[in-house]
Amino acid sequence: MEIPRLRKKADMKNSILIKGARENNLKSIDVRIPLKVFCCITGVSGSGKSTLIDQILHRALMKAIYGSRAKPGKHSRITGIERIDKVIEIDQSPIGRTPRSNPATYTKLFSHIRNVFAQTKESKIRGYKTGRYSFNVKGGRCELCEGQGTKKIAMNFLPDMFVLCEQCRGKRYNPETLEIRYKGKTISDTLDMSVDEAYDFFRNIPSIERILRTLRNVGLGYITLGQSSTTISGGEAQRVKLSTELAKQSTGKTLYILDEPTTGLHFADIQNLLKILHRLTDMGNTVIVIEHNLDVIKTADYIIDLGPEGGERGGEVVAAGPPEKICQIKKSYTGRYLKSVCGM
Whole-number pLDDT of residue 339 = 84
CATH, domain range 103-230: 1.20.1580.10
pLDDT for res 262: 85
> Does 15-92+236-342 carry CATH code 3.40.50.970?
no
Contact in structure between 297 and 323 (CB atoms under 8 Å) = yes
Residue 123 near residue 291, CB atoms below 8 Å: no
Where residue 154 falls among pLDDT bands split at 50, 70, 90?
A: confident
> Residue 3: which of 217, 262, 324, 330 has the closest Cα?
324
Q: For the residues 235-250, what does the mean pLDDT come to?
A: 85
Residue 1: pLDDT over 80: no
Predicted local confidence at residue 218, as pLDDT: 84
Q: Per-residue pLDDT tens for 48-94?
A: 999 999 999 999 999 999 999 999 999 999 999 999 999 999 888 88
pTM, 2 dp:
0.82
Mean of the pLDDT values across residues 246-272? 84
- CA 89 from chain centre, in angstroms, equals 8
- For residue 206, cis peptide bond before it (omega within 30 degrees of 0): no
- The pLDDT of residue 235 is 80
Please tell me the number of Cα atoms within 13 Å of 124 on its side-chain side: 6
What mean pLDDT is reported for the chain? Answer: 92
Residue range 325-338: mean pLDDT, rounded: 91
In this predicted model, which residue has the larger pLDDT, 93 or 249?
Answer: 93
Confidence tier at 343 by pLDDT (50, 70, 90): low
Confidence of residue 38 (pLDDT cuts 50, 70, 90): very high
> What residues does each domain of the chain span?
15-92+236-342, 103-230
Question: For residue 158, what pLDDT band results from cuts at 50, 70 and 90?
Answer: confident
pLDDT at site 162: 82
For residue range 207-219, what is the model confidence (pLDDT) as tens digits? 999 999 999 988 8
Q: What is the average per-residue pLDDT within 112-132?
A: 97
pLDDT at position 344: 59
